[in-house]
Chain A
Amino acid sequence: MRLPAPLASLVLAALAAGCGGAPVTPTKPATATPAPPRVLSGRADGRALLTADAARVQAAGAGALEVVSSEYLSEGDRLGAFVEVPLDACALVMARGSPSVVDVDLFAYEDDGASFAVDESTDARPALLVCPPHPKRLWLAARVVSGSGLVGLGVQSVPTSAVAAVEQAAGARGRSGGETGRLEAWPGLEAKLIAHRAWLGGRWEDVRRAAVPVAPRAATRLTVAVEAGRCLDVFVSPSDEIGSLEVLAEDPAGRILARGKERGKDRAIVLCSATTNEVTVAIRPRASTGLVAVVASRSAPGAGAALDVSARAEHVTETRELDAARAALAKDLAGKGLGAPKTVFVGSAKLGSRAATSLDLPAGCARIDVVAGKPLADASASLWNDRGALLAEGRGGAGVTLFACGPSGPARLDVEALARPGPFAVELRKDDAAPAALVAHPLAAARLLAVLDAGGARISAAAASAAQVVSLDAGARTSLPFDVPARGCVEVAAALDRGGSGLDLRLADASTGENTVTRGRFVLTDRLCAGDAGAKGNAELRLLAGKADALVLVRPLAP
């Protein structure tokens, strides 16, 4: 084929350029400025994350999925929205994350900011079941605890007839009393919990669940809040290898608020408060190391009165009227070796001033209870003899108990409200027991008995009848040998009388040489436990400053 001359020259020129025979200057594209990025109006869509689980609970009877919110979140970020739930209906709330999201927590808040329900399990599949009675609207929030990625928050209506099936399908926090499907690795925990809650009475919602390590060398601690007007139930269930367990509730000042009540191998504490308080639960086995499951649940508001009496709820701050609190105390102290109560004073404690009252102390020992009535919170009390010497002092959220041992005589009691003013009554009960060592050392006796009475033990002076007097000074060490029974524990409690400070106790296992050192200004306790063979223990006491007598009680602990 023959090309026309102009076309042929063009083709030749193009071929020459393509062969690179001549340098070619690259030319810029005609439009030098690229199009600017466009901001799109779309939103993150987490529906796909929720769809599979939503379909499963729909099959169990739930309604259609409503996506509340979706967002790309990183660790610590949260998303949320208000949701209105019909007052007579239940709703299932779920949050789901993309695979890179490791742990998501789910919260439901009431309008005033009070927490209504929480799922803080350590996975990315939290679910809550909201059932009547509930507020008309709730703020639902999901928070990424670990990982980052897309998170979807959804809600589905649930007919009351399908609550149990939906709860099972979604693995939601228990509301119906059925198995929740959580902590499957803890066989029987749910059944125990259901039985425990049935025994307590009332309605309970999970606040926190955790499997925690425990060891006899040191307590494991977990902090939970007792919300204003509610009660908190802490249920502790040990694994098989844990034989005996001690559970205490402590306030921020380290005061023991309550001791765990035995429920077979499990322990439980019920605390009620008129104000919101942080409480630390300290768990310590007596011998072996292992795991325990801890389930903290809260009651409905004002549920304190509905609790079974046998639950023996401890009041962090008093939630009862003064008369009811006094009646409960009288019931607790019945048969404890104490005389009839004598009402010394009924009055009102104020903030920033001390209510003082005179009283006559009987010879021997006496128990003095400053009983708080609603709304008095956090009271302190001190007992003085007629020469102005301190006999006993104490502080408590829902009242104070003091112990007075010594000769009879006039005394003065000062009471002060430290958080909220309110009514109180002072009751004096003469103790049937009057151990000579305690009567001879009133201040040490008051300190020792106060320690033994901590956590609602409701003791009398007879509990310290085995206490011995030990003279201590800064330049000498005193040893007290003792035997620890097989698979048992021995507690050593020491309290100083006047004249010294700084107790130092070294508690040693004579066979292994293992020892622990405990220090306290005026009073301390520690314990030594033994395995199958029992042990020889030795308590070495010294004083850091001054010279004083101490009352030392060495007593076996109940297995």
Chain B
Amino acid sequence: MPALPPGLLPQGHPVLDTEDRGTKSSLGAVSLVRCGPRRADLASLVVSMRSPRGAIEILVSRSPAPLGDLREALPERAFGLVAPRGNPGRPIEPGPLAERAVRAEERAHAEGAERVTRTPTVASPEGAGEYQLRLGDGCHRVQIMAAVPSTFPHRATDVDAEARDDAGRTLARDRSEAADARLDFCLGEATRVTVPYAGAAGMVPVIATDAVWPIPRAIPNHWGARTRAGFAYALRRRNAPEPTTAPVFESLGVAGPTMVPITLEPGRCYLAAVAVARGESRGLRLAATVGDRYMRDEVVDRPEGAALAFCAESEELARIDVEARGSGVWWTFALFALGGGEP
């Protein structure tokens, strides 16, 4: 192995090929044993961790004979034989409807929902139905839960649903294999929302819960309801800090790659967000280059908005790149100043 250059970054290093020469870990540990003259192989080692963060401990031991299997030293990490996957059987019954509805409400309140409302109905004999909801502006989590029949045999409960606005635009869709359907979306203004569902176990009681989170006041509304909703959804999806002041910079753009140069205050943190204002978006990417740091957020599934946060250290400039794909897409970019640096 060649001498390691100072400041070595193993991943992608032109001299060291960690992919080919590396020994991969098992049980969260890796052991290299060399005996006799081959001990010289261990003169220099490069340890590369694939996990984003963690702590590692390095142990070096010399012994007259190999120390044995690592599993003997770390028995708690040995997982034994891997069983064949087999048939998991029927889906687990989700439990009583009332309890599930209460759990959904409690979870929403714990996450800071402003209010939660319930709307009961009964599914058709085919286990399907449709809600017509008049929803106010804000970010919504609509959950559709169906009761499980007490008689046997009965169909499995796997409710799928989608939410559409007046114009027929899909706001959210759930086709997962969970018993309840969950639809997360944001509305920039009061909207009539249609929620068709299917997958209940016949003509059973169904409850729709709607948990609402308010849109941060700093999100501008002068670009229209869809943009406001797009910003709100992007921030919520990234669990981003809520901006408290109006954007310090805004820009508009269209489909294709667009570079937006922005000026920064050293020491201040920023939240950058882009939201679709018009058109059928098929992908949205937002990237920020601040000095030698690069941040990115890419949305492919319902790409209505993207967001990322970054801080300026000594930099006074940053490069924002917005790439929107789709048909007739117009977007709005906003930069919010956060916290530090405010007098």
Q: Which residues of A contact B (CB under 8 A)?
A: 75, 102-103, 120, 122, 145-146, 208, 210, 212-215, 217-223, 250-254, 278, 280, 282, 474, 502, 517-521, 542, 544-545
Q: Is the interface of A mostly helix, strand, loop or mixed?
A: strand
Which listed residue, A122, A252, A521, touches B327 by the CB 8 Å rule?
A122
Asked whether, in the complex, the Cβ of B250 is within 8 Å of the Cβ of A521, the reply is no
Which listed residue, B248, B257, B282, B317, touches A517 by the CB 8 Å rule?
B248
Asked whether, in the complex, the Cβ of B265 is within 8 Å of the Cβ of A502, the reply is yes
Residue of B nearest to A146 (CB): B327
Tell me, rounded to whole Å, the shortest Cβ–Cβ distance linking A545 to chain B: 8
Beyond A221-B253, A252-B319, A253-B261, 14 additional pairs, beta carbon < 8 A = A75-B282, A75-B325, A102-B327, A120-B256, A218-B252, A219-B251, A221-B251, A221-B252, A222-B258, A253-B317, A517-B245, A517-B246, A519-B265, A544-B343
Given contacts A146-B326, A253-B317, A254-B317, contact A222 B261 (CB under 8 A): no
Asked whether, in the complex, the Cβ of A280 is within 8 Å of the Cβ of B259, the reply is yes
Interface residues on B, range: 35 or more
Q: Report 10 cross-chain contacts, Cβ distance below 8 Å, ordered by A residue.
A: A103-B327, A122-B328, A212-B253, A218-B250, A219-B252, A221-B259, A253-B317, A502-B341, A520-B263, A521-B316
Which B residues are CB-close (under 8 A) to A218? 249-252, 332
* Bound: A280/B256 CA distance, A: 12
* Bound: A474/B330 CA distance, A: 39
Q: In the complex, how many residue pairs between chain A and chain B have their CB atoms under 8 Å apart?
A: 95
Which B residues are CB-close (under 8 A) to A75? 282, 325
Which A residues are CB-close (under 8 A) to B260? 221, 280
Given contacts A145-B325, A544-B343, contact A217 B222 (CB under 8 A): yes
Which A residues are CB-close (under 8 A) to B254? 210, 212-213, 220, 222
Asked whether, in the complex, the Cβ of B252 is within 8 Å of the Cβ of A220, the reply is yes
Asked whether, in the complex, the Cβ of B259 is within 8 Å of the Cβ of A278, the reply is yes
* Bound: A265/B222 CA distance, A: 26
Q: Is B74 engaged at the interface, CB distance under 8 Å to the other chain?
A: no
Which listed residue, B251, B262, B328, touches A220 by the CB 8 Å rule?
B251
Which B residues are CB-close (under 8 A) to A544? 265, 341, 343
Which A residues are CB-close (under 8 A) to B278? 213
Which of A218, A220, A250, A519 gathers most chain B CB within 10 Å?
Answer: A218
Q: Is B241 engaged at the interface, CB distance under 8 Å to the other chain?
A: no
Which B residues are CB-close (under 8 A) to A122? 255, 327-328
B residues 165-221 touching A (CB-CB < 8 Å): none
Asked whether, in the complex, the Cβ of B262 is within 8 Å of the Cβ of A254, the reply is yes
Which B residues are CB-close (under 8 A) to A280? 258-261
Asked whether, in the complex, the Cβ of B327 is within 8 Å of the Cβ of A222, the reply is no
* Bound: A210/B266 CA distance, A: 36
Residue of A nearest to B262 (CB): A254
* Bound: A40/B157 CA distance, A: 44
Given contacts A218-B250, A252-B319, contact A521 B258 (CB under 8 A): no
* Bound: A518/B330 CA distance, A: 24
* Bound: A252/B316 CA distance, A: 13
Tell me, rounded to whole Å, the shortest Cβ–Cβ distance linking A52 to chain B: 23
When each residue 232-250 of chain B gets 1 if its CB lies under 8 Å from chain A and 0 otherwise, what string results?
0000000000000110111
* Bound: A412/B158 CA distance, A: 77
Given contacts A223-B259, A502-B265, contact A215 B252 (CB under 8 A): yes
